[in-house]
Amino acid sequence: MDTRVPVLVALLLFSALPSLAVPPTGAAEPPWWETYSRDKDRNGISDLLEWKLAQEDRFFASGEARVFVRYDHHPDAADVARLEAAGATVTFRAQYLDLLGTTMPRALMPQVAHWENVVMLDDIGKGEPQMNEAVPAMGVDLAWELGFDGAGITIAVVDTGIDGTHVGLDDQDDNPLTDDPKILVYYNAYEDQEYDGRLSEDSGTHGTHVAGIAAGTGDGETAPDGTPYIGIAPQANLANVLSCCSGDIEDIIRGIEWTIANQDRFGIRVMTSSLGEQQVEFHIDNDGSSAWSQAVNAAVESGLVVTLSAGNEFGAATVAGCNTIDSPGDAPLPITVAALDKDLSLASYSSRGYTSDGRVKPDVAAIGSNIMAPNKGTGTGYTSKSGTSMATPLMAGIVALTLEANPDLTPAEVKDTIVAGYSIEREILDDSDPYTNDCSLLETRPDNEYGYGQADPRTFVEVAGQIDPLLQVIWTIPPQYAVVNNTTVEVKPEIWNGSWLTGGADSGGVPASGGVEVRFGASSWYPATDVSSNGDWSFWKIQVPPEAAKGNQTLSARLVVAPDRMSPINSASVVLLDEYEPAPAGGDASFWSVGRVALVIGVAALLGGLGGFALWIRRPV
């Protein structure tokens, strides 16, 4: 193959990214509007809004525009009065964001953009949907075997609505004689009105399908072999937040804010939304600062675990498929979900990172292709749809199972501990799919295709329900670096074949009947050997087994005190090499000599006061 092709592709990818330079330590981060990727000319009016205005009456009514007026403070009655006195109509006052929704005369916009304390005029665009075998393929049934079905968790579905008359969504036990509605509440964002969940309706068809994937009971039509189309968390309740797609993004933000304000009333722990910003002739820059993205960040900060779709902009297209994460999937705090085919390869349509400001997205991957779920208006029927829209509620159902196992988990713990630590790491170059497009410039975890990897429901609920935070196993892996665009970045460490891995653990004085166990990638758990002087597993060792899969792998260690009590798993993303480390010439010149290991141990003890430590020592076999 002509070597100029991969070089050209790499150059195009690099040129598509913003600078990855890290600001000096202690430097104040500029306010979002000074770096907003949608206002490249820094005139206070988003580039997308200006482009839409140039299309005359294609997007807005003649002479006016739908505009978010965004402030450097939370707008008050005086701000509303000033806008209305100038001729704008204020249609929305956000509770959790610093903005007002307006219908504004076009001639007024340049004037408002220069008002003191107004930092941006932004387009109020439109949202659009991101369009039986998934349960065993994802391993959801293995989580069900542990007794978890989502009971006690409510999932808010911010979408086109939910058909409450479908038998898979009308109640919890599929018995019409009992009073156990699945949909606890129905909120119509267009009307800003709340209804009894039994009156729930869908303004389209998308939301009903999404809700059934997350929490449908499976009642109604079955697969040809008689298997019901059961949702991921069939005993979870639902909140129907109808907010798309007859209106615009203002309605969706209104629905998000209603969910934030009412989460305690209805036990809402998870909010899922398979909506994305309406696409136009060009891809819109997404740096996580749009009003919609800031709204979903606010939802996470309020205590909700939020799952969002990555988008369907044919990520498999070479170069063009990269940097295609949609808003609000570009928001930093929610869990952005990529889609898998049923053979667990990345779906060709699934959007990929980076975001416009150089962050890695998505965060995790779940099956989204050919998912059977309730068909609105049929009463008992099911239909197949594909898209990151389908992967997102599947992930929301998995989150519901995880929160049922441990209701005390925070949104950050679900994303940064459970999803980041226990997803099955995947690599796009190992995919069986003929359409592959590696959008990650370096071997990192997460990456721009799978995020942290494939969701692992059984492991998620096991870890969530059995972790004892007082128990510890800690890896200390010497970092490795590479220089990209004149910036030094950390990359995955390479581990020689046959390496001896040593470490430490702290059981808090409790006998550890199971000892330390180590997993290499998706392997079974291997027992380590206790080499401590007093048999408390404070020191242990294990050698990388020859049968361990090589390449990009996640290594995991845990301390098992009892079958139902173990330490948090400590994971490390590495590259396992086929090669053995060459023998050093003239004696052991390795940095990891005995004296320097002792020095590192002493420094770690002084700095951290940690109950345990672990070191990787590379040796030839």
Of the candidates 376, 276, 295, 252, the residue with the CA atom closest to the CA atom of residue 336: 276
User: Confidence band (pLDDT; 50, 70, 90) for 282?
Assistant: low
Please report where in the chains the tokens 């050209």 appear, as a residue. Answer: 8
Of the candidates 520, 537, 206, the residue with the CA atom closest to the CA atom of residue 386: 206
CB of 578 within 8 A of CB of 492?
no
DSSP 146: T
Helix axes 388-405, 206-215, angle to 10 degrees: 30
Of the candidates 360, 547, 522, 505, the residue with the CA atom closest to the CA atom of residue 444: 360
- Taking the C-alpha atoms of residue 354 and residue 447, their distance in angstroms, rounded to an integer, is 9
Digit-coded pLDDT (tens) for 537-565? 988 888 988 888 887 677 778 898 887 78
Residue 434 has pLDDT above 70, yes or no: no
Residue 587 has pLDDT above 70, yes or no: no
User: Confidence band (pLDDT; 50, 70, 90) for 314?
Assistant: confident
Phi-psi sector, 374: left (phi>0), alpha (psi -120 to 50), beta: beta
Residue 437 has pLDDT above 70, yes or no: no
Residue 425 has pLDDT above 60, yes or no: yes
CB of 135 within 8 A of CB of 232?
yes
Digit-coded pLDDT (tens) for 493-518? 888 899 888 888 998 888 888 899 98
Residue 411 has pLDDT above 70, yes or no: yes
**Average pLDDT score over residue span 179-192:** 94
Burial 568-607 (b: 16+ CB within 10 A, else e): bbbbbbbebbeeebeeeeeeeeeeeeeeeeeebeeebeee
Digit-coded pLDDT (tens) for 44-89? 999 999 999 999 898 899 999 999 999 999 999 999 999 999 999 9
- Taking the C-alpha atoms of residue 537 and residue 72, their distance in angstroms, rounded to an integer, is 54
**Which range, of 204-208, 423-427, 579-583, 585-589, averages the lowest pLDDT?**
585-589
- Taking the C-alpha atoms of residue 587 and residue 436, their distance in angstroms, rounded to an integer, is 45
Residue 8 has pLDDT above 60, yes or no: no
DSSP 5: H
- Taking the C-alpha atoms of residue 422 and residue 609, their distance in angstroms, rounded to an integer, is 26
Please report where in the chains the tokens 């770690």 appear, as a residue. Answer: 604
The pLDDT of residue 151 is 84
β pairing state of 565-566 and 551-562: antiparallel
Q: Which domains does the chain have, with CATH numbers?
A: 32-124 (3.30.70.80), 147-464 (3.40.50.200), 468-617 (2.60.40.10)
- Taking the C-alpha atoms of residue 150 and residue 403, their distance in angstroms, rounded to an integer, is 8
Of the candidates 434, 436, 459, 465, the residue with the CA atom closest to the CA atom of residue 554: 459
Of the candidates 308, 381, 296, 384, the residue with the CA atom closest to the CA atom of residue 351: 308
Percent composition of the chain: helix, strand, coil (DSSP 3-state, to 5): 25, 25, 50
DSSP 378: S
CB of 530 within 8 A of CB of 517?
no
**Which range, of 132-146, 171-185, 422-436, averages the lowest pLDDT?**
422-436
Task: Please report which residue ranges of 282-327 form alpha helices under DSSP H.
Answer: 291-301
277 alpha carbon, distance to own chain's centre = 17
Instruction: Find all residues with CB under 8 Å of 64, minimum gap 6, and list them.
Output: 103, 104, 105, 106
- Tell me the CA distances in angstroms from 602 to 240, 591, 612, 619, one per residue in order: 56, 16, 12, 22
Determine what percent of the chain is predicted with pLDDT higher than 90.
Answer: 50
Hey, what are 326's tokens? 């949609």
How many Cβ atoms from other residues are within 10 Å of residue 564's Cβ? 10
- Taking the C-alpha atoms of residue 414 and residue 418, their distance in angstroms, rounded to an integer, is 5
User: Confidence band (pLDDT; 50, 70, 90) for 289?
Assistant: very high
DSSP reduced 3-state for 515: strand
Higher pLDDT, 320 or 394: 394
DSSP code string of 430-446: G-SSS------SS--SS
**Average pLDDT score over residue span 319-335:** 88
Of the candidates 424, 418, 239, 387, the residue with the CA atom closest to the CA atom of residue 309: 387
Report, as residue numbers or ranges, the catalytic residues.
Answer: 159, 206, 389
Please report where in the chains the tokens 């999803």 appear, as a residue. Answer: 419
The pLDDT of residue 316 is 63
- Which residues on neighbouring strands pair with residue 574, listed in sequence order? 553
Give helix then strand counts, H and E, for the chain. 14, 30
- For the entire predicted model, the pTM comes to 0.74
Instruction: Find all residues with CB under 8 Å of 162, minimum gap 6, and list them.
Output: 169, 183, 186, 200, 201, 202, 207, 208, 211, 238, 240, 242
Gyration radius from the chain CA atoms: 26
User: Confidence band (pLDDT; 50, 70, 90) for 204?
Assistant: very high
The pLDDT of residue 405 is 84
- Taking the C-alpha atoms of residue 456 and residue 306, their distance in angstroms, rounded to an integer, is 18
